[in-house]
Amino acid sequence: MNGKKEKVVIVGGGLVGPVCALYMAKRGYDVSLYEYRHDPRELGYIRGRSINLAASHRARRALRDLGIEDAILRVGIPMKGRFLHVPRNVLNEKLLYATKQYPNLQLFFNHKLIDVQIDKGLITFIRTDTNATVEVKADLVVGADGAHSTLRKCVLQKPLFDFSQTYVNHGYVELSIAPEFGKQMEPNHLHIWPRGNFMMIALPNYDNSWTLTLFMPFEKFYALDADDKVLNFFYDTFPDSVPLIGEKQLVKDFFRIPPSALISVKCNKYDVEDKVLLIGDAAHAIVPFYGQGMNAGFEDCTIFNEILDECNDNVPLSLKLFSTRRKNDAHAICDLALYNYVEMRDLVTRPSYKLRKFLDDF
């Protein structure tokens, strides 16, 4: 494949898929993006996983390349000394709206990837609304389908493709502070309540509300199995947060969904047989403590775009170069993110001589 009218299928319309789709459409490829969920722009606000995201230089570089940085900055909150902070659903929707400018980019929602025959370039989806099977051919298949990527599962048996995943023994729940109470907190900062082997953080939202994330070992979550146990735990551990959240809201949010798991994924390469590319969490899911998962995923797209420039759109060559250039950095951010959990929940409160000892032992 060495031409700009080739067909690219991108699986996953989360954060990274649309960014890759925009880059490829801008280059003139014939791009189709398939997403399992319904179109989020038609559903309005849905409360789900990690509703806020810290966007740093890496994500902003991609947004700038694609001409949508200003639109995102307008809905972000600066966090001094760190990053810009944006709501996940707004970012997702703005990326999807941005696809409208390219007639060579089409979106298909309610399409769940179930299989890929790499040698034939044949991709099979099930429509989640009608149950119909849809088969599509492509010259390049890009997997942006997240940490539990189906495309990655389809290539696992290919020779010389190594993959590992690690769950940390800690989960998280999201809580919230309503705008009327949120005004009492200093915005433009990441707030942290470090408590040794667990922690809570708070990130500001545009409307003065705050999103709190409590990270702690699963067994600690499971021990809090009744309203009064949750309230006692918060009064003992984070007493200043209870009047801000409100007792009723705290209990409601705490039990809304079970604590979510955190996973790290490492692969030894991201290209398979000149036809498949893995990017974003599908390639390198990381724990969220550096706030860099999405940033690294957007950077994948920027780097792949630069490599296509260098290789004059020779895609097989670009795929190989991408794996070579990206692997060490992806593995490094994976490890740094795990380490930063210890930093945030514990080391941040230790005097420097104890810190030295801890780092020596780490």
Nearest-10 crossing angle of helices 57-65, 16-26: 40
Give CB contacts under 8 A, 24+ apart, made by 76-83. Answer: 76/206, 77/187, 77/188, 77/204, 77/205, 77/206, 78/188, 79/54, 79/188, 79/189, 79/190, 79/203, 79/204, 80/188, 80/189, 82/54, 82/56, 82/190, 82/291, 83/54, 83/55, 83/56, 83/291
Does 204 participate in binding ligand FAD (rule CB under 6 A)? no
Residue of 15, 123, 199, 245 that binds ligand FAD (CB under 6 A):
15
Does 89 participate in binding ligand FAD (rule CB under 6 A)? no
Residue of 87, 121, 182, 291 that binds ligand FAD (CB under 6 A):
291
Contacts with ligand FAD: how many residues (CB under 6 A)? Answer: 33
Give the burial string for 270-285 (b: 16+ CB within 10 Å, else e). bbbebbbbbbbbbbbb
Does 41 participate in binding ligand FAD (rule CB under 6 A)? no
* Closest residue to ligand FAD using C-beta atoms: 14
Q: How far apart are CA 127 and CA 134, in angstroms?
A: 7
* Interaction residues for ligand FAD, span 19-38 (CB under 6 A): 34-37
Q: How far apart are CA 77 and CA 324, in angstroms?
A: 35
Cβ nearer to ligand FAD, comparing 122 with 231? 122
Residue of 1, 8, 10, 14 that binds ligand FAD (CB under 6 A):
14
Cβ nearer to ligand FAD, comparing 212 with 313? 212
Does 294 participate in binding ligand FAD (rule CB under 6 A)? yes
Does 337 participate in binding ligand FAD (rule CB under 6 A)? no
Cβ 263 to ligand FAD shortest distance, Å? 9
Q: How far apart are CA 298 and CA 306, in angstroms?
A: 13
Does 113 participate in binding ligand FAD (rule CB under 6 A)? yes
Q: How far apart are CA 341 and CA 197, in angstroms?
A: 9
- DSSP assignment of 276-301 equals EEE-THHHH---GGGS-HHHHHHHHH
Q: How far apart are CA 15 and CA 25, in angstroms?
A: 16
Residue of 281, 299, 313, 343 that binds ligand FAD (CB under 6 A):
281
Cβ 113 to ligand FAD shortest distance, Å? 4
Cβ nearer to ligand FAD, comparing 34 with 341? 34
Cβ nearer to ligand FAD, comparing 170 with 313? 170
Does 253 participate in binding ligand FAD (rule CB under 6 A)? no
Cβ atoms within 10 Å, residue 25: 23
Cβ 61 to ligand FAD shortest distance, Å? 13
Cβ nearer to ligand FAD, comparing 202 with 313? 202
3-class state of residue 136 by DSSP = strand
Does 121 participate in binding ligand FAD (rule CB under 6 A)? no
Cβ nearer to ligand FAD, comparing 146 with 187? 146
Cβ 361 to ligand FAD shortest distance, Å? 27
- DSSP assignment of 228-259 equals HHHHHHHHHH-GGGHHHH-HHHHHHHHHHSPP
**For the window 137-176, what string marks contact with ligand FAD as x by the rule CB under 6 A?**
-------xxx---x---------------------x----
How far is Cα of residue 152 from the mean position of the Cα atoms in its chain? 16
Residue ranges binding ligand FAD (CB under 6 A)? 11-17, 34-37, 49-50, 53-54, 112-113, 144-146, 150, 172, 213, 280-282, 288, 291-295, 297
